[in-house]
């Protein structure tokens, strides 16, 4: 039994669905299609095998249908089933080749070849098709690692479709791959402006940023931004919760853990117990830290206060910590973050702007500033 390969192409589901529909309709209307009982029986068997991903059985049944066929109408119907069989059994390359011989249009061929991972042919036919075909060509260039060629196509597409979120997102990806940080940030800004409440857009933005090396408190700020933008991935619950423990934001860790319910394993239960304990004692601990003169302690206290919703106390502690050169960037990041949570976006943008452009906190601060610009 042949197992169908999962295609990388985002068109493959559509391709499979269309061909399956053709075959089902044909099965129900075999007599009307001018197909003899012998050919009809073989085609039904072929499609049944294909649905079970049995490529050899399906091919044998198609061969029997061809042997029994006597008319051009029967041969055309067999060809439709052959396409369905190739598709259902994961042989999209063969389906594409068959369609090309039949003179299918360029856009259809681009879709099939992309789904078959024949990216060079997808590029060729995508460019011939124009319009949506150009987008397929760009994606194929991305798969081949030719980011400059993909970037050029997306720039052209955006000249005629300036508010297309998918094109903007993909242009940003090419800029990220090309290490064009300035262009990347400009494109991200446009993406969020076009659709500020799209969790899909924020997820695309934050996925790239999260790959970069940065201090743990900066990573934590990303997880918090994911919460605010509804782009949090549940697979990150444990690591985000642990990060919160490390950087003294127990309230956020508790929020993350609550997203998955009670842990069933011993390790998860220990982590939850630690987080609950830290969250319950958070205010007392933060209060003690603010009584001393240590600016490092004030930074820690400020983050604790923010995580448990004690925003005025957090603002006071973080403002003091920001006077230290050693802690200013982290303090301003969390100060701005706190001001966003207090629904003070204008003040937040001022705080984010004070983060040193050369610091490891600047990229995160930039995205928080962008988020603040979408709030009122």
pLDDT digits (tens, 9 = 90+) for 228-263: 999 988 888 999 999 999 999 999 999 998 888 777
**Distance set, CA 181 to CA 173, 178, 196, 223, 366 (Å):** 11, 8, 21, 21, 12
| Per-residue confidence (pLDDT) for residue 88, from 0 to 100 | 84
- How confident is the model over 323-366, as pLDDT tens digits? 999 999 999 999 999 999 999 999 999 999 999 999 999 999 99
Which residue, of 194, 213, 239, is where some domain finishes?
A: 194
CA distance 102 to 118: 18
Task: Report the half-sphere exposure of 119 (CA within 13 A, side-chain side).
Answer: 15
- Helices 165-177, 147-160: inter-axial angle, 10-degree rounding: 150
Please state the domain count of the chain.
Answer: 3
Query: What is the four-CA torsion angle of 366, 368, 371, 376, rounded to 10 degrees?
Result: -120
248: left (phi over 0), alpha (psi -120 to 50) or beta: left
CA distance 240 to 79: 53
Q: How far is CA 20 from the centre of its chain?
A: 28
CA distance 154 to 166: 10
Residue 60 included in any domain: yes
Same domain, 77 and 127: no
* Token pair in block for residue 363: 């990229």
Same domain, 156 and 235: no
| Per-residue confidence (pLDDT) for residue 29, from 0 to 100 | 59
Same domain, 239 and 310: yes
Same domain, 346 and 272: yes
Residue 5 included in any domain: no
Same domain, 39 and 146: no
Residue 100 included in any domain: no
Which residue, of 149, 166, 194, is where some domain finishes?
A: 194
Same domain, 308 and 274: yes
| Per-residue confidence (pLDDT) for residue 309, from 0 to 100 | 96
Q: Which residue, 254, 300, 245, is CA-closest to 276?
A: 254
List, for the chain, all residue ranges whose pLDDT scores fall below the cut of 70.
Answer: 1-33
| Per-residue confidence (pLDDT) for residue 283, from 0 to 100 | 94
Same domain, 162 and 214: no
| Per-residue confidence (pLDDT) for residue 327, from 0 to 100 | 97
Which residue, of 174, 194, 214, is where some domain finishes?
A: 194
CA distance 220 to 215: 9
| Per-residue confidence (pLDDT) for residue 33, from 0 to 100 | 61
The range of the structural domain enclosing residue 189 comes to: 119-194
CA distance 198 to 188: 13
* 90 phi, psi to nearest 5 deg: 80, 15
- DSSP-based three-state secondary structure for 313: helix
Residue 364 included in any domain: yes
**Distance set, CA 57 to CA 26, 40, 60, 74 (Å):** 19, 16, 5, 20
| Per-residue confidence (pLDDT) for residue 198, from 0 to 100 | 87
CA distance 367 to 98: 48
Under 8 Å between Cβ of 178 and 147: yes
């Amino acid at each position: 039994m042949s197992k169908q390969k999962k295609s990388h192409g985002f068109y493959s589901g559509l391709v499979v669905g269309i061909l399956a529909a053709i075959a089902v309709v044909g099965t129900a209307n075999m007599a009307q299609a001018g197909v003899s009982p012998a050919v009809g029986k073989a085609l039904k068997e072929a499609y049944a095998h294909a649905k079970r991903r049995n490529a050899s059985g399906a091919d044998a049944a198609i061969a029997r249908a061809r042997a029994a066929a006597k008319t051009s109408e029967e041969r055309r119907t067999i060809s439709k089933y052959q396409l369905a069989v190739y598709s259902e059994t994961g042989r999209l390359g063969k389906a594409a080749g068959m369609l090309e011989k039949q003179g299918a249009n360029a856009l259809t061929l681009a879709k099939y070849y992309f789904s078959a991972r024949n990216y060079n042919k997808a590029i060729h036919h995508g460019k011939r098709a124009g319009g949506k075909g150009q987008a397929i060509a760009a994606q194929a260039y991305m798969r081949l690692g030719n980011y400059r060629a993909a970037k050029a196509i997306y720039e052209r597409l955006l000249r005629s479709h300036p508010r297309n979120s998918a094109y903007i997102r993909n242009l940003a990806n090419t800029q990220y791959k090309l290490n064009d940080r300035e262009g990347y940030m400009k494109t991200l800004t446009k993406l969020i402006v076009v659709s500020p409440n799209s969790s899909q857009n924020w997820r695309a933005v934050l996925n790239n940023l999260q790959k970069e090396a940065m201090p743990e408190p900066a990573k934590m700020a990303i997880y918090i931004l994911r919460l605010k933008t509804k782009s949090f991935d549940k697979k990150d619950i444990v690591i985000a919760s642990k990060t919160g423990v490390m950087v003294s934001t127990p309230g956020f860790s508790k929020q993350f853990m609550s997203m998955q319910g009670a842990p069933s394993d011993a390790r998860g239960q220990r982590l939850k117990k630690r987080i609950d304990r830290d969250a319950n004692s958070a205010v007392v601990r933060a209060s003690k830290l603010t009584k001393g003169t240590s600016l490092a302690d004030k930074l820690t206290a400020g983050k604790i206060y923010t995580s448990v919703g004690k925003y005025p106390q957090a603002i006071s502690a973080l403002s003091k910590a920001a006077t230290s050169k050693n802690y200013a960037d982290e303090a301003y990041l969390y100060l701005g973050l706190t001001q966003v949570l207090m629904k003070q976006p204008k003040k937040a943008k001022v705080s984010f702007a004070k983060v040193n452009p050369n610091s490891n906190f600047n990229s995160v601060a930039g995205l928080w500033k962008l988020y603040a610009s979408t709030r009122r």
